[in-house]
Amino acid sequence: MVEMAIVLPVLVLLVFGIIDFGRLYNTQVTLTHAAREGIRDYAIFGERDQAENVARQAVTSFDRTLMVFPPEPDCIPGQPATMTITYPFNSSIPFLGESILTISAKGVMRCGG
């Protein structure tokens, strides 16, 4: 019983840490995909609002209304354009509490003309 009382909290911490890391990684991959889809649309059509909507539509696994698109320079034909997306990730691991991490992803593509 004593050994179980000592080992169980460490085991629970390890298991929930692995689960939370998996959620974090999934969110990062999803944001990267959304940034690539959005910048592809922006590089072709040159409409920032439309590109942000395309990026939001590429996300299905978390709340897309929390995605933030910081201002970026305009799309100049032949020059690279970027789209950065930030998202607040809520991490909660037993015994460690909750924390909010800001995840960001960036897509870069040359603007068409």
What pLDDT, in 10s, does the model give residues 52-105? Answer: 999 999 999 889 999 999 999 888 899 999 999 999 999 988 878 889 999 999
- Let me know the angle formed at the C-alpha of 30 by 28 and 35, rounded to the nearest 5 degrees: 95
So where are the chain's domains? Answer: 2-110
**pLDDT score, position 113:** 56
Give the whole-angstrom CA distance, residue 105 versus residue 108. 10
Contact between 112 and 44 (Cβ < 8 Å) = yes
**How do residues 34-53 score in pLDDT, each as one tens digit?**
999 999 999 999 999 999 99
Average pLDDT, the chain: 93
Which pTM value belongs to this model? 0.86
